[in-house]
Amino acid sequence: MKSLKESIEKRRSIYAISNQSPISDTELEGLIKFAATHVPSAFNSQSTRLVLLLGDNHKKFWDITKDALRKIVPKEAFAATEQKIDSCFAAGYGTVLYFEDQTVVESLQKDFPLYANNFPVWSQHTSAMHQFAVWNLLEEAGLGATLQHYNPLIDEEVRKTWNLPASWTLIAEMPFGTPVADAGEKTFQPIEDRVKIFK
């Protein structure tokens, strides 16, 4: 099993994925529930909502995305858009959808008016931590993933299709599957420009 540091180091945006998984659906469900249970949130708000789409539901999601894009992408450019979705995202094993429940955010704004302007920002922080945690858990399990943002274009149809509450705001989408090719080389800016240490 990889250490946390190894998982963070190896986690990359993997676009070449297959519709296979080295772990069972039950284990995948366990990873998602683990993240939802243990990832921190401001004021312990637990505002993040996670949706795991597998099988036909995964494919349906990317069909919805293509249908929405077809309405706004110029006809001559849509073939490239469709090819990217079909070969990079829909080709995977599943997709994790990340939502934030606005009823929780609004309740905190009401209960703690001094911090009202901060709660929407902290909600985004909470979502980001869930995204990072799930991404690393998938990496540790031998799965590759990317993080996509086709929201808010698809929000209404997604909520309608899976009967999700209107208060759930879609933040990001994470298609995943078994990697079939490595990510390209990653470059790093000088660490001295990014980290300052004072003793």
Count the alpha carbons within 13 Å of 5 in the hemisphere toward its beta carbon: 0
The reply to whether 98 falls in a domain is yes
Domain count, the chain: 1
User: Distance (Å, rounded) from C-alpha 115 to C-alpha 119?
Assistant: 7
Residue 124 belongs to some domain of the structure = yes
167 occurs within a structural domain: yes
Is residue 175 situated within a structural domain? yes
Q: Is residue 99 part of a domain?
A: yes
Q: Is residue 105 part of a domain?
A: yes
CATH of residue 111's domain is 3.40.109.10
Per-residue pLDDT of the chain (199 residues; tens, 9 = 90+): 778 899 899 999 999 999 999 999 999 999 999 999 999 999 999 999 999 999 999 999 999 999 999 999 999 999 999 999 999 999 999 999 999 999 999 999 999 999 999 999 999 999 999 999 999 999 999 999 999 999 999 999 999 999 999 999 999 999 999 999 988 889 999 999 999 999 9
Does a structural domain hold residue 199? no
How far is the C-alpha of 94 from the C-alpha of 177, rounded, in Å? 7
Does 130 reside within a domain?
A: yes
Q: pLDDT tens digits for 37-76? A: 999 999 999 999 999 999 999 999 999 999 999 999 999 9
- Domain of 190? 4-194
Beta carbons within 8 Å of 44's beta carbon, 6+ residues apart: none
SS (H, E, C) the chain: CCCHHHHHHHCCECCCEECCCCCCHHHHHHHHHHHHHHCCCHHHCCCEEEEEEECHHHHHHHHHHHHHHHCCCCHHHHHHHHHHHHHHHCCCCEEEEEEEEHHHHHHHHHHCHHHCCCHHHHHHHHHHHHHHHHHHHHHHCCCEECCECCCCCCHHHHHHHCCCCCCEEEEEEEEEEEECCCCCCCCCCCHHHHCCCCC
